[in-house]
Chains A and B, each alone.
Chain A
Amino acid sequence: MARPYHPKREVSFGPSRLVLNTAPRHWLARPGWLRALVLALFLLVDGYIGLIHGLGTIVWSGLFTSQLEWLLLPIEVMVGALLLLRIILSQVRASWKSTLIVLTPILVVLISFVVLELLLTGSGRKATIKFNLSSVGLSGLYWSAAYLSVAVGLTLTYKVQRFANFAQAEMVLFGSYIALLLMWSNRFFPISDSPSDGILNWELLLWAGVSAFVITGALGFAIDRVVYKRFRAKMGTPQVMMIASLGVSMILRGLLYMRFGAGTFRFVPDRDWRLTTSTIKFPAEQVTLHLGDAGNQPLMEMATSVSPYAFAYSKFTFVIGMFAIAILLLFLLHRTRFGRQMRAVADNPDLAASSGIHVERVHGGTAFLSSGIAGFAGALIAAILPINPELGLSLLLPAFAVIVLGTIGSVPGAIIGALIVGLLRAASEPVLIGVGDALDRPSASGFAQVVPFVFLVGLLLLAPRGIGFALQNWNIDRIKKQRLSRQNAHYASRVKLLIPIGRLPVVTAPLRGFFERANHRREIILDWLTNALSLFWAARINYLAKLPSKAKVLSNRIVETRNLSHIRHRHLPRIDRETERGSWILFAILFLVLAAIVFMLPSVSSLTKTLQVARIVTLVGIFGLASFSLNLHTGITGMTNFGVIFFVGIGAVVVGLLSTPVALNGYGWSPWTATLIAVGISATLGWLLAYPTARLRMDYFAIVTISLGEMLRISLQAEPLMRAGSTLTSAIGISQYPRPLESWWENGPAHRIGDLLGLHVAAPYVVLLAMLAATTLIAVWFLLNTLLASPWGRILRSIREDEVVSQHHGHNILIHKAASLALGAAIAALAGALWAWLNTSIWPDFMNPVRTTFLIWAAFIVGGRGNNRGMIIGAFLIVIVEFIFNVLVVSRGSSSLPFHGLTSLMDSIFSWLVTSIGGLVWSIRSIEAVFPNGDVELSLTHLKLALIGMVIVGGLVSSSKGLLPEIPRRPKHPPGPPEDTSERKEAA
């Protein structure tokens, strides 16, 4: 995109800032980069001597076990090196900077290899890493295409519509299922089912690609009309639209599950496509790296006699198709009228509208294109992978990493980002296998799927605005230089052309005279116009002064009655959700209604009812605390945090690991100390997170936080240090940790409380946990309310409203953001501790970002951003919804259970929809492939998913503030005399 170049804008504030920053009084006041340089060098040297010689602060401190030391030291060196790189980047001349930023991916990879080499040398181990160049390259292309399938639409939506569309992954899936439906249709099934004949049949694949493009595009267009158009009309924030897209994705996934079930299907365009012999053989060369063995073996060895790499036709088609469509999109954006319109809307929708572009049509077109491309990709990917409704989610998070890496909203950036991430993903696998072997971590290759995130986080710290931004700058520089040189050339040539003309003063003299006269006349005209205007102005004022007196009387009366109504209004207490009292009343009503539902939930005995209520209370406590944390970060401070689950997870994992007995690979601390440490660690991490991420844009911050959660989850799967609860270190998960006060409870109060509740047995432990959770929730609520009512709360809100203004008022934004992150993280860690005790064990899946994080987000949005009362209602609501739907789900099994009739009714409606109505579109074969014997049954679990999605979308469409909106904290207007207002109105 050709952005006009404004040389003046860039230098305008330079000198004044320099004046403010100079004049160092003592060492600490030296420029920040100098201090950072000292820190970086210290980290590098300290880490280096730690790794190689077993010296340095980490070793001397004696705080860590040797396993942990080996984990921390490489991290220390890595941080030091990245910091150093960042200082170089910030201090280097501007003309080199863009080039350096574009080179950072390579530098980061190099640094990681150096760190690995140090680690291996230090620990006296040797690693052999075998890169098969063809395998890495082609597999990398495959990953690139797979990530690109989601990323293209994602970045396009971002560019034009300015929000992160979580439903993009479902669009890919939708395309896959269209391909499957075509395969099952009577027209195409014979092609798919025919025996192999050695000839590739393209017919079904082409049809599937085209129809997936059109139908998915139409779906995207329809969703845009029904949902996002409303938000645009209401000037909805990108955040609200993003959460709405989350709701849309839940609805779509729920529908896909209901129609196609959870099983996997393979799309066979023709049997020949999927034969193991349907491959292209690429000759392979193998590069072997020997790390940690510097003295004995060469670092790198080449071997050519390895077996060729077979790349399946279907993958080849997918890669070609994906990159072709991305390049077509680029062409469309830059060479066609519609593309120019899209870019215009992306740059400034209002300006675009004013110059005659139909903005809504451009939005619709963008939605069609981004969904259509995803659908097309889905059809192609179905020919490679077995399809089930979870597939989209596997691609969504890496796709986010791709578009952030390539700068959000840039299509060429997305292509480059996909290539980098894809190749890195493919190349990391051999590295992880080799290094994991050397370090006794056979499951290290499980980390391959987080490599994109780790890399992204590292890179964002260096180039906070992504590579695409640097590329764009670089491009602008290049174009600028080109223009300048071309201009000079142009000038020179024009001067040459002008020379003969200059020799003809006879011709120019009369012309000059004409211009002089014209200029003179213009001045006269301008004078005349100004006079006319001032005359008119004077006349208007005279006219107003001479208004008929009757009209004045009338207008006075109107003002009086208005004032009267105003006064009357003021006497009535204004009860509204957005006043303190109204908010409390609505909170009480909602709370009581929810409590009544809890009371009415069916149960068979007083014991099971006690268990049920205690469980609900504990869950409300956990989700409430997590929502408090999210509210503090996002609702109050305005940082979009998708990593609540990261902090919750840190809390749970640290509590679990520290309190598990030593015999079971734990540390054997008491649950209370462990909780304190967990809260401390989580708060520290929250504080530290502020430093690298403070400069990041909102969306980038969101992606970094969501990546952190994913990293923790994969570490739980693949890192032996994160396992405890069994004598075997191979056992994934943390379990067998003690819970607080467990023996005290069972030996005393349990019996008394059991009698009190009329249970006839001792009260179960979960009752105590419920009391703990409720107490913690209320205490944190009180603490937060006090803090947020203090000046600090006001500063946080002012940061949310406008960072620049609060900075201007002398607040150190970084410190306040860090404090907010730390406090929120500490609260989330408490939720994590409670969660660990409730579940009695910690498994990687409990931190599923898509499930848990978004559930907390739903509570946050539905409850009401910025209002802690809303958080409690939101948390209560999501817990209750789960229970109510479970009651529905189980009712199918027995006629004696409540709602049994309702579920049978829903079943028959669904069956009618699928067979009679849907039967018009799809074949009987497609129904029988999913439902055993063709007996269509509604999956209530997935209906729940779709309904929660509908609640989110519907709630946001009707009121984007949530149930209990934030109470605006404005100073009360002083009651002025009514005359004042009337005069003001009159004047207006």
Chain B
Amino acid sequence: MKLRGLFGLLVMTVAVSLLMACGGASSVKIGMLSPQTGPIAQFAPGFASAGSVGLASINEVYDGNFEFELITADSGCDSTTAATAAQTLIDSGVLVIVGAACSGASTAAIAVAAPAGVPMISYASTAPALTTADDNGYFFRIVPSDAQQAVALTDVASAAGVKNPAVLYMTNDYGAGLGDNFISNWSGEICTKAAYDPAEGKYDASALAQAVVSGGCDSVLLMSYSTDGASIVEALSAQGFEGVMIGADGIADANFTGDFTDASAVDGLIATRPRPGKDSVAKSKFESAYAAADGKDGIYTHETYDAIKIAAAAIASDPDGDLRVAVAKIGTNYDGASGNHTFDANGDVIGTGYEVCQFTGTNFSCPRVWSADGGLATK
């Protein structure tokens, strides 16, 4: 029994070493950390689709000069999983890592990537702690800070004539960041504040909606992802809520209606999202490619695509140099699918403001924009 087990182990070791010996021609590898397991695993298919669209795009742009490969590993939403995955990516020779999604995953992964000299470009980590993290300049992110979007939401709410809003937000760093910042920015009254865990089976959308209705709130500020956001909007409509609904970038997407069975509930919803560049060619290009690839609905897919494009451009500009510098240089006034981006010294993007979108019926349009200096304006 014991000997057999040992023999098996030995055979396995030999097999492992033999398999490892084989290897092919080298190419340029970009790593990607995706939350394939854990609480936000439902968005991983979207990230994966955006990743493959991005890969196809960069291989088309740099055809002949570079052959890029995108290597994906599971970061979970968990520091340890993410750091181990980052280590494996680095071991397989990636030059830049795109990711991770959850802020905890990103902070742990950068602690592995920075000593190895591999820059990371996150497409979804919004925690303020990442701004000042000890990353030696290797950490970048394409998502703007929550604090700024909270200001935008405040202006949007005031413009909508809101007096007594309810604030519903998720108990994760994204939701809490937006929610708490909105609450501290809002000068008027707040009728109800409720936090919930967006995992299905952990919140009751009807009870949240009823709290809003029976509190007599005239409007709702919703800091959510798309699936839970849809459930709450549906529940609000079912409870007979008729006030203004305002959401953030988790739901500001034409595909949001796909999460509804009864899409009529979405009518009148206002939502903000990072403003795209002046000519939104990148955006429309990405969206058509994404649709052609049968990509799943999701959040931060535009950011994922941009992160891969920036990584490839940085590698192409200076394949052997310090990639930190190259990424920072490419990421200056970069017109991407998710907006116009410039990295500051901390690796954060200085947003160019937000666009304010709305659903009329089930039609989605973004007629207004918001910027830090100019406030709300019509496009």
Binding site for B on A (CB under 8 A): 130, 132, 135, 139, 142-143, 146, 257, 261-264, 266, 268, 271, 274-277, 279, 284, 286, 306-312, 315, 385-391, 394-395, 426, 429-430, 433, 436-437, 442-446, 448-449, 577, 586, 589-590, 593, 596-597, 600-604, 607-609, 611-612, 615, 619, 714, 717-718, 725-726, 728-733, 735-736, 764-766, 835, 838-846, 848, 851-852, 882-884, 886-887, 889-902, 932-933, 939, 941-942, 945, 959
CA distance A891 to B81 in the complex (A): 17
Chain B residues lying within 8 Å of A725, measured Cβ to Cβ, are 129
Interchain residue pairs with CB less than 8 A apart (26): A274-B262, A275-B262, A390-B42, A426-B207, A429-B211, A442-B193, A445-B193, A445-B196, A446-B195, A597-B13, A615-B84, A714-B171, A726-B128, A728-B181, A730-B180, A765-B115, A766-B112, A838-B108, A839-B107, A851-B78, A883-B84, A886-B84, A890-B71, A896-B25, A897-B23, A932-B49
CA distance A951 to B30 in the complex (A): 33
What 4 pairs between A and B have smallest CB-CB spacing? A843-B104, A730-B180, A893-B71, A394-B201
Does B239 sit at the interface, judged by CB under 8 A?
A: yes
Whether A394 pairs with B83 at a CB distance below 8 angstroms is: no
CA distance A843 to B130 in the complex (A): 13
Interface hits, B93-117 → A, CB 8 Å? 93, 102-104, 107-108, 111-112, 115-117
Chain B residues lying within 8 Å of A887, measured Cβ to Cβ, are 88, 91-92
CA distance A308 to B181 in the complex (A): 33
Does B183 sit at the interface, judged by CB under 8 A?
A: yes
Does B277 sit at the interface, judged by CB under 8 A?
A: no
Does B22 sit at the interface, judged by CB under 8 A?
A: yes
Chain B residues lying within 8 Å of A844, measured Cβ to Cβ, are 104
Q: How far in angstroms is the closest Cβ of chain B from A727?
A: 8
Whether A309 pairs with B239 at a CB distance below 8 angstroms is: yes
Whether B20 pairs with A735 at a CB distance below 8 angstroms is: no
Chain B residues lying within 8 Å of A586, measured Cβ to Cβ, are 2
Whether A276 pairs with B214 at a CB distance below 8 angstroms is: no
Whether B19 pairs with A902 at a CB distance below 8 angstroms is: yes
Q: How far in angstroms is the closest Cβ of chain A from B247?
A: 17
Besides A608-B90, A732-B176, 15 other CB < 8 A contacts?
A130-B211, A264-B42, A276-B234, A311-B206, A387-B200, A430-B211, A442-B180, A603-B91, A730-B176, A733-B103, A736-B133, A848-B38, A882-B81, A892-B71, A945-B37
Whether B180 pairs with A898 at a CB distance below 8 angstroms is: no
CA distance A795 to B74 in the complex (A): 45
Whether A268 pairs with B261 at a CB distance below 8 angstroms is: yes
Binding site for A on B (CB under 8 A): 1-2, 6, 9-10, 13, 16-17, 19-27, 29, 31, 36-39, 41-42, 44-45, 49, 69-74, 76-81, 83-85, 87-93, 102-104, 107-108, 111-112, 115-117, 127-129, 132-134, 147, 167, 169, 171-173, 176-177, 179-181, 183-184, 192-197, 199-204, 206-207, 210-211, 213-215, 227, 231, 234-235, 237-240, 259, 261-262, 264-265, 293-296
Chain B residues lying within 8 Å of A449, measured Cβ to Cβ, are 197, 202-203
Contact of B238 among A310, A600, A839 (CB under 8 A): A310
Chain B residues lying within 8 Å of A386, measured Cβ to Cβ, are 200, 227, 231, 259
Beyond A442-B183, A766-B115, whether A894 also contacts B194 by CB under 8 A is no
Whether B177 pairs with A839 at a CB distance below 8 angstroms is: no
Contact of B207 among A139, A263, A890 (CB under 8 A): A139
Q: How far in angstroms is the closest Cβ of chain A from B356?
A: 23
Whether B24 pairs with A895 at a CB distance below 8 angstroms is: yes
Contact of B78 among A602, A848, A884, A945 (CB under 8 A): A848
Q: How far in angstroms is the closest Cβ of chain B from A862?
A: 12
Contact of A898 among B23, B36, B78 (CB under 8 A): B23
Contact of B204 among A426, A851, A898, A959 (CB under 8 A): A426
Whether B261 pairs with A266 at a CB distance below 8 angstroms is: yes
CA distance A426 to B207 in the complex (A): 8
**Residue from the set B38, B88, B127 with the largest chain A CB neighbour count within 10 Å:** B88
Contact of A146 among B25, B201, B237 (CB under 8 A): B201
Of chain A, the residue at the smallest CB distance from B69 is: A894
Chain A residues lying within 8 Å of B181, measured Cβ to Cβ, are 728, 730
CA distance A838 to B112 in the complex (A): 9
Whether A845 pairs with B41 at a CB distance below 8 angstroms is: no
Q: How far in angstroms is the closest Cβ of chain A from B295?
A: 7
Whether B261 pairs with A841 at a CB distance below 8 angstroms is: no
CA distance A898 to B41 in the complex (A): 27
CA distance A848 to B81 in the complex (A): 12
Whether B107 pairs with A890 at a CB distance below 8 angstroms is: no
CA distance A132 to B20 in the complex (A): 64
Chain A residues lying within 8 Å of B127, measured Cβ to Cβ, are 726, 731-733
CA distance A615 to B210 in the complex (A): 49
Beyond A597-B16, A612-B91, whether A941 also contacts B37 by CB under 8 A is yes
Contact of B69 among A394, A729, A893 (CB under 8 A): A893
CA distance A601 to B167 in the complex (A): 49
Contact of A601 among B91, B102, B194 (CB under 8 A): B91
Of chain B, the residue at the smallest CB distance from A429 is: B207
Q: How far in angstroms is the closest Cβ of chain A from B366?
A: 25
CA distance A146 to B345 in the complex (A): 49
Whether A890 pairs with B92 at a CB distance below 8 angstroms is: yes
Chain A residues lying within 8 Å of B21, measured Cβ to Cβ, are 898
Q: How far in angstroms is the closest Cβ of chain B from A740?
A: 15
Beyond A271-B261, A717-B171, A886-B88, whether A433 also contacts B192 by CB under 8 A is yes
Beyond A845-B102, A894-B69, whether A446 also contacts B171 by CB under 8 A is yes
Chain A residues lying within 8 Å of B108, measured Cβ to Cβ, are 838-841
Of chain A, the residue at the smallest CB distance from B89 is: A890
Chain B residues lying within 8 Å of A385, measured Cβ to Cβ, are 200-201, 231
CA distance A816 to B107 in the complex (A): 41
Chain A residues lying within 8 Å of B115, measured Cβ to Cβ, are 607, 611, 764-766
Contact of B41 among A271, A388, A852, A959 (CB under 8 A): A388
Contact of B227 among A264, A842, A932 (CB under 8 A): A264
CA distance A942 to B45 in the complex (A): 13
CA distance A882 to B179 in the complex (A): 36
Whether A442 pairs with B195 at a CB distance below 8 angstroms is: yes
Whether B70 pairs with A893 at a CB distance below 8 angstroms is: yes
Whether A933 pairs with B293 at a CB distance below 8 angstroms is: yes
Whether B193 pairs with A437 at a CB distance below 8 angstroms is: yes
Contact of A728 among B16, B85, B88, B128 (CB under 8 A): B128
Whether B13 pairs with A596 at a CB distance below 8 angstroms is: yes
Q: How far in angstroms is the closest Cβ of chain B from A773?
A: 14
Q: How far in angstroms is the closest Cβ of chain B from A814?
A: 36
CA distance A132 to B85 in the complex (A): 48
CA distance A257 to B76 in the complex (A): 14
Chain B residues lying within 8 Å of A308, measured Cβ to Cβ, are 240
Whether B80 pairs with A839 at a CB distance below 8 angstroms is: yes
Chain A residues lying within 8 Å of B36, measured Cβ to Cβ, are 262, 939, 941-942
Of chain A, the residue at the smallest CB distance from B52 is: A932
Contact of B296 among A132, A263, A846 (CB under 8 A): A263
Q: How far in angstroms is the closest Cβ of chain B from A154?
A: 15
Q: How far in angstroms is the closest Cβ of chain A from B36?
A: 5
Q: How far in angstroms is the closest Cβ of chain B from A390?
A: 6
Chain B residues lying within 8 Å of A714, measured Cβ to Cβ, are 171
Chain A residues lying within 8 Å of B180, measured Cβ to Cβ, are 442-443, 728-730
CA distance A848 to B215 in the complex (A): 34
Whether B29 pairs with A894 at a CB distance below 8 angstroms is: yes
Chain B residues lying within 8 Å of A842, measured Cβ to Cβ, are 79
Whether A886 pairs with B73 at a CB distance below 8 angstroms is: yes
**Residue from the set A443, A590, A714 with the largest chain B CB neighbour count within 10 Å:** A443
Q: How far in angstroms is the closest Cβ of chain B from A717?
A: 4
Chain B residues lying within 8 Å of A892, measured Cβ to Cβ, are 71-72
Whether A390 pairs with B41 at a CB distance below 8 angstroms is: yes
Chain A residues lying within 8 Å of B210, measured Cβ to Cβ, are 132, 135, 139, 309
Chain A residues lying within 8 Å of B202, measured Cβ to Cβ, are 394, 449
Chain A residues lying within 8 Å of B9, measured Cβ to Cβ, are 590, 593
CA distance A445 to B195 in the complex (A): 5
CA distance A390 to B35 in the complex (A): 13
Contact of B261 among A275, A619, A733 (CB under 8 A): A275
